[in-house]
Amino acid sequence: MKDPAAAPRIHDVAKLAGVSVATVSRVLSNPSIVSERTRQAVEKAVEETGYTVNLMARNLRQQQVGAVLALVPNLANPFFSEILAGISGTLRAEGLSLLVLDTRQTDPGSPSRGLRAYLNRSRADGVIVLDGSLDPALFDHAACPPVVQACEWIDGLVGPRVLADNTSGARMAVEHLLGLGHRRILHLTGPSANTLSQSRAAGVAAALAAAGLPPAPRIEGAFTLKSGHAASAALLAQAELPSAVFCDNDEMAIGLMAGLRAAGLRIPEDISIVGFDNIEMSAYASVPLTTVRQKRAQLGRRAAETLLAQRSAPAPTELILPVELVVRDSTAPARDHLRVAARDRSA
Amino acid sequence: MKDPAAAPRIHDVAKLAGVSVATVSRVLSNPSIVSERTRQAVEKAVEETGYTVNLMARNLRQQQVGAVLALVPNLANPFFSEILAGISGTLRAEGLSLLVLDTRQTDPGSPSRGLRAYLNRSRADGVIVLDGSLDPALFDHAACPPVVQACEWIDGLVGPRVLADNTSGARMAVEHLLGLGHRRILHLTGPSANTLSQSRAAGVAAALAAAGLPPAPRIEGAFTLKSGHAASAALLAQAELPSAVFCDNDEMAIGLMAGLRAAGLRIPEDISIVGFDNIEMSAYASVPLTTVRQKRAQLGRRAAETLLAQRSAPAPTELILPVELVVRDSTAPARDHLRVAARDRSA
DNA sequence: TTGTACGCGTTATCAC
DNA sequence: GTGATAACGCGTACAA
């Protein structure tokens, strides 16, 4: 006597429909090659039994997993969750599942050991890496599925990348400040080892160099609200206050603004602030934040599409998505600039 | 001639080590039952071939997927991503993967059709549902894996739940306002159909009833920054302004504060605001927000643990996690209250 | 158009 | 302690 609760198998459907298992399989995966009559009989039997294919069996047979793995540095960070949403949407349209792994949540002793077990063709059909701090050697073995780097990237890891135009974004931000007359611009950066920070620093340097100005002084943060807040203390301790700060992301900018305002500074009257990312919160910050918009959901979609494209035509493409400046209330003309302008007028 | 790039199989290892495939399997899954000598030989062969088990085959054989599915209403919402981080951590410790699905990202025509295909034992060993708006019928079939409801819950769906103490939290928030002398308290709610909103409304009602006050007037929002901002207009249009607002989450509270401040109101001098959740941003808002702390990572961990516990001992447990009030700057004594207190003193 | 039979790669059950 | 072999459930040559 069989377990009545056992899931129906393809064999049960075949018997009920009076056909072979092969025919049932065909109806399910390629209905057009089977006659109308038998197709209907099979569909009826499927309906009656409540049969659904066993994906573990199908996957083994077809040598594919039906899932893509996303590697994120911090799952709790809203910045990444929007990218994930974009990835997820594209994958679902293809019938693929999204596996998510927090790269920081691995065992602290050997951060890469736990990860490596997941980088295997039998666990995922592809990998989207959103963490630029990983060791490229992690991906350097035959069992590793195709990899696409998105948002951040890993030096030494060849393969397709989908990135925002970080350098242009930072350049636009600084040029905006320069245009407002700011000359004493400070750069609140992410961790110096981070590839994002580096490319944004390049944009800052380019804008200043083009204006014939020396490199901007820096304070190093960690992309967090807290580190932005901490930077306010460091900034206020400086001999000469900058007239504007470009921050490598919005969270640090918001943390910084909170600290500066608590110290009695007015934004933008006393100091202008620019962020990067345009997170939703930025429009509702204590002072609506001028920032660089980065379309995160789109970036996720593109990354997923790029990965899917690798299946048919592997190529180490590099996709750079445009960004744009969003001017809100946290930036205003430099005071010196106003003074100069007034003198010019009265002269 | 075989493909030299083909992944080594257990058979290859067995041949190289001069043992049977069964022995190789044993070394990999239960090393203690095999002799020291052969174990070392097998491990050496594994090393040389670079063999790793094919999980698709193992899963088929063992009738398990090695993954848990999380159903979230909005992957881009930071609120959920922190819960996911908690879930992910617990699962990894057990060697399980986390599958994530955005329930809103399904095809708009039939929101549940796409979802149902994922609710299958061959796709996940268990499901953690974070979306209270789903149809309980979705889970009502034999092929559905064990389900745990977390954070939100679904009326009509029996099974274990892990929830924050929403009613107590709301009650504490309102009692805090009452203690400050506020009597005209408005409730900015989530969608009225949402189970979270309902249980928080119960807490609000309980606090007011205990104080002998009538139910609070409500404005209905959508848990978003935008809807909180929009509520400020509705609020300002009212004949008599409330002296305090309890918001069903922090995002609405922050949106509301932005709108009120833009209209010239001071917080907390003119109006007190309380939120719910204690998202990280709340401490750095234009006015640091008084709110109810909910430990999201812990909630995720507990949900995952509850799901794992179901494997051995299925039971429809309900776990209620405590919350606590975090008082910051957005709440202050009611003006009326101050006046009354002054009069009392002078009498 | 349909059925038969084998293979996907592993683990569990039995013998030895 | 170890080896042979039958599942796990499905897809697909190949034959009919």
**Which residue in the set B50, B88, B229 is minimally distant from A75, CB to CB?**
B88
Asked if the Cβ of residue A9 lies within 7 A of any atom of strand D, the reply is yes
- Give the chain B residue nearest A56 (alpha carbons): B60
Identify the helix (H) or strand (E) that includes residue A312: helix A296-312
Convert the pLDDT of each residue in A233-273 to its tens digit.
999 999 999 999 999 999 999 999 999 999 999 999 999 99
- Residue B277 (CA) to nucleotide D13 (C1'), in angstroms, measures 59
Cβ atoms B123, A55 nearer than 8 A: yes
Q: Beta-carbon neighbour count of residue A156 at 10 Å? A: 10
Count contacts between A and B (CB, < 8 Å).
159
B182, two tokens: 């506020």
Q: Are A77 and B80 an interchain contact pair (Cβ–Cβ within 8 Å)?
A: no
CB contact under 8 A, A120 and B52: yes
Residue A197 pLDDT greater than 50, yes or no: yes
Q: In CATH, which superfamily holds the domain spanning A67-159+297-322?
A: Response regulator (3.40.50.2300)
Residue A324 has pLDDT above 90, yes or no: yes
Residue written as token pair 């305090």 = B244
Please give, chain by chain, protein residues whose CB is below 7 Å from any atom of strand C.
A 18-23, 26, 33-35, 37-39, 57, 60-61, 63; B 7, 9-11, 21-22, 25, 28-29, 51, 53-54, 57-58, 60-62
Q: Which of B47, B54, B77, B81 to mutate to test the interface with A (most CBs of A within 10 A)?
A: B81
Q: How far apart are CA B173 and CA A291, in angstroms?
A: 34
Residue type at position A162: V
Would you tell me the crossing angle of helices A21-29 and A10-17 to the nearest 10 degrees?
110
Three-class secondary structure of residue A320 per DSSP: strand
pLDDT tens for chain B, 347 residues: list them: 445 568 999 999 999 999 999 999 999 999 999 999 999 999 999 999 999 999 999 999 999 999 999 999 988 888 898 999 999 999 999 989 999 999 988 655 555 568 999 999 999 999 999 999 999 999 999 999 999 999 999 999 999 999 999 999 999 999 999 999 999 999 999 999 999 999 999 999 999 999 999 999 999 999 999 999 999 999 999 999 999 999 999 999 999 999 999 999 999 999 999 999 999 999 999 999 999 999 999 999 999 999 999 988 888 899 999 999 999 999 999 986 555 544 454 54
Cβ of residue A325 closer than 8 Å to a chain B Cβ: no
Separation in Å: D1 C1' and B23 CA: 9
DSSP A31: G
Record: contact A102-B114, CB cut-off 8 A: no
Query: Which residues touch B274 (CB under 8 Å, ≥6 apart)?
Result: B173, B174, B176, B177, B244, B245, B246, B247, B253, B289, B290, B291, B292, B330, B331
CB contact B120 to A (< 8 Å): yes
Q: Which positions in strand D are less than 7 Å from the protein's CB atoms?
A: 1-5, 7-13
Q: Does A38 touch chain B (CB under 8 A)?
A: no
Distances (CA, A) of B171 to A261, A331, B71, B107: 32, 41, 29, 38
d(CA A105, CA A239): 40
Distance in angstroms, CA of A160 to C1' of D15? 45
Q: What is the pLDDT of residues A136-158, one digit of tens each?
A: 999 999 999 999 999 999 999 99
Assess B299–A contact: CB distance below 8 Å, yes or no: no
Torsions phi, psi for B320 (to 5 deg) = -110, 115
**Long-range contacts formed by A156-159: CB under 8 A, 24+ apart:** A157/A129, A158/A316, A159/A316
- Whether B88 and chain A come into contact, CB under 8 Å, resolves to yes
Instruction: Please give the protein residue whose CA is closest to the C1' of the nucleotide C9.
Output: B57
A114/B284 Cβ within 8 A: no
Could you tell me which chain A residue has the CA closest to the CA of B288?
A258
The strand ranges marked E within A210-309 are 218-220, 244-247, 272-274, 291-293
Outline which parts of chain A fall under CATH 3.40.50.2300: 67-159+297-322, 166-290+327-342
Question: Taking all residues of chain A, what is their mean pLDDT, rounded to a whole number?
Answer: 92
Distance from CA of A299 to the nearest CA of B (A): 13
Residues 6+ apart with CB under 8 A from A335: A243, A269
CA distance A256 to A258: 5
Q: Does A298 touch chain B (CB under 8 A)?
A: no
| Residue A143 Cβ < 7 Å to strand D | no
Task: Check B281 against A281: CB less than 8 A apart.
Answer: yes
Spatial CA neighbour of A139 closest among A122, A163, A164, A156: A156
Q: Which residue of A has its CA nearest to B300?
A: A76
Q: By the CB < 8 Å criterion, does B67 face chain A?
A: yes
The residues, ordered by sequence, that sit 6+ positions from A235 with a Cβ below 8 Å of its Cβ are A186, A219, A241, A242, A245, A256, A260
pLDDT of residue A313: 84
| Contacts B286 to A, Cβ<8 Å | 285-286
Task: Name the minimum distance, in Å, from the CA of A48 to any CA of chain B.
Answer: 13
pLDDT tens digits, A75-108: 888 889 899 999 999 999 998 999 999 998 865 5
Please indicate if any CB of chain B lies within 8 Å of the CB of A44: no
Residue B35 approaches strand D within 7 Å at CB: yes
CB contact under 8 A, A101 and B97: yes
CATH of B166-290+327-342, one of 2.70.70.10, 3.40.50.2300, 3.80.30.20, 1.10.287.3510: 3.40.50.2300
| Residues in chain A closer than 8 A to B122 (CB atoms) | 52-57
B152-178 per-position pLDDT tens digit: 999 999 999 999 999 999 999 999 999
Whether any strand D atom is under 7 angstroms from the Cβ of B60: the reply reads yes
Q: Residue B347's pLDDT is what?
A: 45
Instruction: Note the pTM of the prediction, 2 decimals.
Output: 0.93
Q: B137 in contact with A at a CB cutoff of 8 Å? A: no
- Distance CA B61 to C1' D6 in A: 12
Minimal Cβ distance to A75: which of B81, B143, B254: B81
**How far: B24 CA to D3 C1' (Å)?**
11
Task: Yes or no: say if B150 and B132 are a contact pair by the CB < 8 Å rule.
Answer: no
Q: Give the tokens for residue A62.
A: 């077809």
pLDDT at residue B4, as a whole number = 55
Residues A5-40 pLDDT 10s: 678 999 999 999 999 999 999 999 999 999 999 999
Measure CB to CB from residue B286 to each of A82, A118, A286 and give the nearest one: A286
End-to-end CA distance of chain A: 104
H/E element, B221: none
Q: Which residues in chain B have Cβ-Cβ distances shorter than 8 Å to A117?
A: 52
- Percent above pLDDT 90 for chain A: 86
The reply to whether B78 touches chain A by the CB within 8 Å rule is yes
Closest by CA position to A142, among listed B139, B219, B4, B307: B4
